[in-house]
Structures are given as C-alpha cells and as structure tokens.
A and B are shown apart, each in its own frame.
Chain A
C-alpha cells in the first residue's frame, strides 16, 4: 500500500511537471531579481557603504535578525501563491485528464484500486506540492543569503557577522514547513471538492468547480434567506486557526523600544495546538473525506470509457 503510494505520487509528478517547474521558476526569478538589484546597487557606493556600516555598528543582533526574518519569510509569499494556484489546477486536472485521454483504461488494467489512485492524488496536493515548494524555498533562501554575503563582502562588510550569524534560517524553515503542511489540511474541503469535480464532470472542470461555489450560496439566500454555506466558505479564508495574534506587549520591551529577541521568530507565531483544537479544522477534514469518498465511488462505478 505505502510503496504503491510512492509509485503513484511519483507518477503524478512525472505527469504534472509544473509541480516542480513552477516553484523552480519562482525561485529563479527571485534570485535573478536580487542579482539585478545588487548590480544596480553597486552604482550607489556611498549609500551602500552607509547601509553596511549602519547594519554592522548601529543595529543590534535582534534588529538584524528581524530584518532577515522579514526578508526570508516574506520571500516565501510568491511560493505560497504559486502553490495555491498549482493545487487548484492540479486537483481539477488529475482525475479529468485520465478520462479525457482515455489512459484511465490502462491505469485500471493494473492491480491498483480506485481508492489507492484517488488517495494518491489527494496526497500529491496535500504533501507533494507543499514539500516540493518547501525544498525549493530552502534552496532559494541559501542562494539569496550566499549572494547577499558575497555582495556584502565585496563591499567590505563582514558577511559572517551580518548574514550567517543573524539569519534565523532554521526558525523560518521549521515555521514554513509547519505552515505549508497544515495549510492544505485547513483548505482540504476545497481540495476534496476539486478532486470530486475533476473525477465527475464531463467538461470544463474549472467552471464546474467554481460556479457552484457562487450559485449554491446565492440559491440558499434566495430560498432560505440564510447564508450558512457562504459563511462556511468565507470562514475558510479569514479564520485560519494557525497563528497566535501579534502581541505588542511581548514584541517590545516596556522600557526601550527595542524588539524582544524571543519574539523575532516565525515559529513563535505558529500555534499548532490551536490548529488541532479547532473544530472547524476537523469539520473541514470530514467534508474533504466525504468528497474523496464520492470521487472514489465515481471512478469505480461510472462507466463512461
């Protein structure tokens, strides 16, 4: 069962090469942009010098750490957006394309159950997409830091002191890994719905997936004058129970307006306990499970080949 899953997920990555090409392109664009910025910046020698002197002498450890945390964490945003888009398109395509190109007949001639196949597609969205993006993020971070330290060294600064000692790499990585694994879990009702539509619809999965998300709440409001479904959909986007609120009291020391070193951390804001204690998270998993079961049922029982 588990070795089957590895083979099946590997197959998904072979088929959907965009799953690794997209994050790689995002990372490459980021590295090239930074390179251009450095080349551009070297034309402004004085300002750069002042910046480096400032960073070395005036700023404290915590400020340097905070600045690098902002850079490293901020860099992950384009990857997250790319990952979200990939998840939508991949999950809508995965059970649709095999029927469209009739390869489903070949896949079903092998000793693999429909449940194993559908689950492999679910695991690709919730595990493979985030993990691939995560590895690319780590590589991008290392490249960005390496380039920055080269630039700093060329400009006469101490890269070891400025960059490598201050960069909260492992904090950002651990935090990102948790966030990237748990985000798809939180959004799993949508993923389940997309996979179901992908396995069920005879045409235009994108339209068939998004239209009901608008129409059903509208219908509910017309008929029942309630908006429960809309609230549930919207709630997925504004009630993610994964972060602690930023507390100004702990962020700054009372006396001096200097950031508290413990608070300059991504991990410090991730609240895994709150996530798993959230009934909304579990309710979402149940909804996802229902859609996945329906997707398995449709693949097994529908005979449209």
Chain B
C-alpha cells in the first residue's frame, strides 16, 4: 500500500489491520517519535506472532473465530463533548455514578477521551490525570519509562495488536509519599457497533503513595459486533499502596481480548477487585507481577455469566522476588448455557524464597447446561516457599438449601440468598461503598428470572 492511498482515507473510515492504519492514528495524534517507535515495534511483533488457535494450550477453550476484525472500524470519535460529568449521557452516568465521591474521572468514549476531571486538591498534591495522547507530550519523563514496557508486544498477539493501535488512553500519576484520599475512576464507554477500540490505562503510583483506582468498561448492548482490545499497565513503586478495581460490564455484543499487568515493587501493597459480568466473549489476562520483595497482595474477584456468554480469565501471581505474600480468590457463577474458563497461575521464580502464595477458585453452576473449567497451575522453582491452591465447582449445595428453606424461604429465594452470599464474600472487599452496592446490585440483576433446577 502506498502512502498516497492512505491520505485519502479519513481516520473515521480506517478499516483493516495494516501498517498504514496505525500510522494514520499515530499521525493524527501528532505523536512524538518514541511513541511511534513503540507502535512500530508492536506492529512488527504482531506481524511475526501467529494468531492463537484452539491448538494453543492457552486458547484451546476459547474460540474467538467469530471476531471479524477486518470488518471493524479501527477509530471511532467520541461524538460527546463534556465539560463536566453532568454533561455525560444518562446511560453512561448510570454506570459511573455510584454514590461515591470521585476525586478524578476520565471518560473514554470509543477511541477518544471525552472528559477529564481532577479535583483541585488532587492537582495541588501533584497528581496527574490526563489523556494518554496528551501526557506523552506533557510528561514524557513519567510516561516513557513505563508505556508499553509493563504490557509488551511479547505478551501475545493481541497485546501486540493493542501496542500498534491503541487510541484514547488514560494516564494517572501519583507523586511520591502522596495519599490520594478520593478515588479516581477511568471509564471506557463504547456506544457504536462494528468498531474496535484499543483503550489503554497507565497508572503509576510512585514511592510510598496511596491511591484507589477504578477501571470500568461498559456499553449498551447493540446488534452487531464490537471489539475491545484493552491493555492496563499499573506500576506500584516501592512502598506504594494501590487499590485497583476492574469492572467489566460490556454490552452483550462485545468481544474482548485484553491484558492487564500490575507490577509491584519492594514493600508495595496491592488490593485488586475484579468484577466481570458483561460481554459476549471475553478473554483477559490479569497478571500480577511482584517485582520487589516484601510485597503484600490481596486479590478478590468474580465473574457471572448467563445466556451464551463466554468468559475466560487467566490470573497470574508472579513472584519474582523473595518475602512476598499473595492471596487470590476468584468466584464464578454460571447460568443458562454460558461457559467460563478460569486459569490461575502461581509462578515462583528462582530466588523468590519465603514466598507465601495462595490461590482459590470456586464456581457455582446455576444450570446443568452451563460449563466451567478451572485450571490451577503452580510453577515453583524454589524450596523455601509456601504455595497452596484450591478449586471447587458445584451446584447450589442441597444441604445449605434445605437449611435456608427450613427457615421459611422458598426454594428460589433460598438459592438466591446463597448465591448472593457466595458473591458477597468477594464483593465485601471492594474499597468503595457505592461500588460495593453497585456490584451487589449487578449480581441481583444477573439472577433475575433464574429458577433453581431440580
């Protein structure tokens, strides 16, 4: 393809995964050379990496061949101008407004940032919250050391694709020894069909800082397919305390293939919450990388599938240094003919002595036609460690059901109570009351119309 043919194609009509297409995005954003170089390297990796197929161990349970990547528009403007949250459409605000008091809010609509707001108190503390496309110009010294280096093109075909095509994007920086009292929310909203979005979140919590950050992916449900290929990079530097919440609530037309990596340095504290309820077909890597020693990491998450949803989450507790502790619990419930795959990896690298890692996955099959796979993987290259895992999948327990029914609740109400309790054990760790109530409400919503099977 020649240079001249590209210039006739407006950004809004970009279609087809080609070098010209990402170059057009880069050009339109007037990116510095180093960002363009990142895209170039990612593109090269993308071209060299074969598409994962059902023959790859990691992909053999998730068939994404329905994804029609070549037919999707690769850049879609926000089409929304918002000076403040009140200007945002009601459908979007029904997600972002939780009753919690937000210190900062960034909203990406499709491929563009529609709103960035940061409280003056946080600005005065030196906190930065900005569109990534802007931050690469204004704060290269903070962005360049991390962008594309936490999640890299080597992480796979889709991280590489993301690296070449990312657009919009959110950058958040918390200066050393700064405690951000109010939480920050990044919302990625998609309101068009037949599009592909490549949202990027880069959160850098500098030494000794504290921050609560919520990432939310949501959209209405539309007819035709849309594709989300996000990447999240989180860096918690020495002694930082990061509370990170990911809420995946896409509409039922969305295919998502995403990658998250959270790197924690010496003595960092990490709390993560994952809540996945949306999408048509979703596969996400959630990679927790304990690069420093003395890390304490606590992970809680849930997924809830219904209809014909397919969700595939692979978590990693990657212990690269000694004396760190990680504790992960993921719970899942499956309704109807839905399907879920959970793979939990604990990786204790050589030299990571005194690692204490725990992983548990519990799944509840709410229908005989639903299917779930739970795959624990322990890779331990060390002696002096403690690693344990547990996995259990089953239906609503008959004895528990009888116990609750004996207290006056009919079978469905009793089962609902048990399912809500099942999730509440995870949701209760969510740091924000409003978000916590919202997630509990989401579980109730997913239970609507459900009848316990005999």
* A and B are partners in one complex rather than unrelated chains: no
